[in-house]
Amino acid sequence: MATRTVTITDNVSGKQVECPVHEGQYGAPVIDLKNLYKELGMFTFDIGYASTAACRSAITYLDGEEGVLLHRGYPIEQLAEKSNFLEVSYLLVHGELPTTRQFDEWSHAIKMHGMTHEHLSRFYQGYRYDAHPMSVLAGVCAAVASYYHSQTDIYNPEDRMMTARRVIAKMPNLVSKIYRHQSGLPFVYPDNAREYVENFMYMMFSWPSEPYVPNPVALRAMNLLLILHADHEQNASTSTVRLAGSAETNPFACVAAGVSTLWGKAHGGANEAVIDMLKEIKDPKNIQKFVDRAKDKNDHARLMGFGHRVYKNYDPRAKIIRAACHDLLDEMHVDQPMFEIAMELERIALNDDYFISRKLYPNVDFYSGLIYQALNIPTSMFTPMFALARSSGWIAQWMEMLSDGDFRIGRPRQLYVGAQKRDYVPVAARK
Ligand code: CMC
């Protein structure tokens, strides 16, 4: 029972409603508005959900003012340094870090579900070689739903865990096939002698006529990128997955909805848009001109990879990537002139009043594309990489939602501003 309350008064009718306030482990307390409509006959109005907590969650916490990101309580800096993506996905789904035995079982289970039905391979042929990979990924994720639809009981915790394993296991396979299709290369089956990230790189880059020798620096870079993108609280794509899931939709169809939302350049598509922006800038001497355009309200240009709804400080993931980018490009002996442009662009923006006063800092995707590029991943495949990582967070959040005692379909209301009730006019009488 909450002891703190907030009373909302309608100063026209004089009616009041006393709303309990719930305190979380960290973060802003939330006002419980469950009785608002019943008592006052009013809804809340919060475009973009800037002040709305849509659910309770124990998975990820982020403090935008301090630049803090925790998964199940563990700081992202420690996970990035000490963990690997498969372990982080276990942590998100199960809530605790695995023991050695639990990790081995998890790794084995993921390997056992890495294949896809052979018919699905033909699905890719329906797309043109230059179809955007996010469009293909949304399509194939929805197609996978058809294979498990009749066998999945979303109210059975064992089925939910099986679904989590399937999603995490199959995403590398689904994503790599997009790249192979685009490149005119044959699809590669998973090789269970390889660990998760190596297996993904093998399915992406192995050459049919050559043995595949993984590059340890590239594996480390890919692991890091996947960890940093694995989950991020109630962002647009995660909220989409939850909303779709709240209608009791097939979980792979929910993932397809998440992929579609992630594609947008205000969200996951920003990693691709950053590289397009750096290419457009081309030379450090053009940076100021671009920054001026980003500040101009009459110009649709924005500084891609800058700004975040929650972070009003340096995105902690961007800090990690920025440091890693330098080392990795050096270790991989990649000459990346765009990295120099990115650093100079960051310096100019961070010293500009427009960005300072609005607390706009680089976000995770300001530097991620430069690492993907160094790994020879084409620009249009960057957002599918993000989706591969984020699908672990999506499915953990989907599982959490379904096991919450307060679970019900998501159904926002609106402020109706349309026409008043009026009578139908036959076409001949319309002016
Ligand atoms: N460049 C120029 N101005 C900006 C930018 C930017 N990148 N981002 C925000 N602003 C301005 C915005 O115009 C507004 O100015 P004013 O107060 O004068 O109207 C102010 O800053 C506040 O911005 P907002 O649009 O209200 O912020 P939001 O929380 O609605 O949007 C955002 C957040 C991430 C969509 C936005 O910052 C943006 O479009 N950034 C570029 C795209 C990007 O990098 N997205 C990746 C986000 S991180 C990865 C992920 O989570 O997917």
Average pLDDT score over the chain: 95
Ligand 1 atom 32: residue of nearest CA: 308
Which residue carries 């109210």 as its tokens? 155
Ligand 1 atom 48: residue of nearest CA: 363
pLDDT over threshold 60, residue 1: no
**What is the distance in A from the centroid of ligand 1 to the CA of 307?**
5
pLDDT over threshold 90, residue 51: yes
For residues 178 and 127, give the distance between their C-alpha atoms in angstroms, rounded to a whole number.
10
Any atom of ligand 1 within 6 Å of the Cβ of 359: no
pLDDT of residue 408: 95
Bridge pairing between strands 60-63 and 68-71: antiparallel
pLDDT of residue 23: 96
Bridge pairing between strands 30-31 and 60-63: unpaired
User: Could you tell me how many residues make up the chain?
Assistant: 431
- Residues in contact with 201: Cβ distance below 8 Å, sequence separation at least 6, in sequence order: 214, 218, 219, 222
Mutate to test the pocket of ligand 1, among 259, 360, 366, 394 (most ligand atoms within 8 A of CB): 360
Q: Dump pLDDT digits (tens) for 130-145.
A: 899 999 999 999 999 9
pTM of the model: 0.96
Closest ligand 1 atom number to CA of residue 274 = 44
pLDDT of residue 210: 95
For residues 319 and 325, give the distance between their C-alpha atoms in angstroms, rounded to a whole number.
10
Please give the positions annotated as active site: 308, 365
Ligand 1 atom 20: residue of nearest CA: 358
Does an H or E element contain 422, and which?
none
How would residue 288 be classed by pLDDT, with cut points 50, 70 and 90? very high
Does an H or E element contain 31, and which?
strand 30-31
Any atom of ligand 1 within 6 Å of the Cβ of 277: no
Structure tokens at 237: 């794509």
Structure tokens at 168: 């995490």
Count CB-CB contacts under 10 A for residue 179. Answer: 19
Any atom of ligand 1 within 6 Å of the Cβ of 270: yes
For residues 214 and 206, give the distance between their C-alpha atoms in angstroms, rounded to a whole number.
9
* Residue 78 burial by Cβ neighbours in a 10 Å radius (0-12, 13-18, 19+): exposed
pLDDT over threshold 70, residue 363: yes
Closest ligand 1 atom number to CA of residue 386 = 52
Share of the chain above pLDDT 90, in %: 90
Any atom of ligand 1 within 6 Å of the Cβ of 239: no
Structure tokens at 91: 């942590």
Q: Dump pLDDT digits (tens) for 311-348.
A: 998 899 999 998 888 888 888 777 778 888 999 999 99
Cβ contact 75:417 at 8 Å: no
Least confident of 26-35, 328-337, 344-353: 328-337
Structure tokens at 425: 């006019």
Any atom of ligand 1 within 6 Å of the Cβ of 108: no
Structure tokens at 248: 């009791």
Any atom of ligand 1 within 6 Å of the Cβ of 389: no
CA torsion 364-382-232-266 (nearest 10°) is 80
Q: Dump pLDDT digits (tens) for 122-181.
A: 999 999 988 999 999 999 999 999 999 888 899 999 999 999 999 999 999 999 999 999
Cβ contact 281:378 at 8 Å: no
